[in-house]
Amino acid sequence: MLPNTDQIRVGVNGNSPLKRFLNHNDHYQSLLANVIRSIKPQVMIETGVESGYSTEHFIATMHDIGVGHLYSCDPKPSVFYEAYPINHPRFTLIREASWTALDKIFKEAGRVDMFLHDSDHSYNCQTFEYEWAWTHVRSGGIIASDDVGWSDTTPDKPHHAWDLFCERRGVTSLRQKINNGEYFKKP
């Protein structure tokens, strides 16, 4: 049984405040939570927090299985997150962009079992994060990305950073869909 969010969000009773107040629907979070249950990562990194809805799912799953720590980086989470911050012993938020935060997280954690990109969707940022994950996620770990067909600069013309990364690394056949995202187990 997953903990209710008063164990995760400060000063909130009951279900996720985002789901309750905004009727926010899960679009990949439960599917990725199932991956977390399966591989039981000691260390997971998430880039981009925004409202904290995904973060909340991942921490609740780690709490449920009794293992793991989620490090998230976001220089400026949303106003909603600021109103309902997450305070949980399995969670550390680094208020910096991935360019500077990822190496700091790795230095502190010493390993990465699972990585999720869900921050700046520009080609440069996505490419940087995917390549960083490739060199830091352990063999057998998970590399995932939300919104693999999006682009911050031209939403109707995706830049295909994920596709190009997977091709460069020879993992195209390993890709698993999670709604508008994908993941693969690193060889």
Classify domain 5-185 by CATH architecture.
3-Layer(aba) Sandwich (3.40)
The mean predicted confidence, pLDDT, of the chain is 86
Burial of 154 (0-12, 13-18, 19+ CB in 10 A): exposed
CA atoms within 13 A on the CB side of 57: 21
Q: For residue 10, what pLDDT is reported?
A: 36
Q: What local confidence, expressed as pLDDT, does residue 1 receive?
A: 41
Q: What is the pTM of this model?
A: 0.89
Is residue 42 predicted with pLDDT exceeding 50? yes
Q: Where are the alpha helices (DSSP H) in the chain?
A: 17-22, 29-39, 53-65, 79-83, 98-109, 123-136, 161-169
Structure tokens at 35: 């991956």
Domain spans, the chain = 5-185
Region 116-121: mean pLDDT is 94
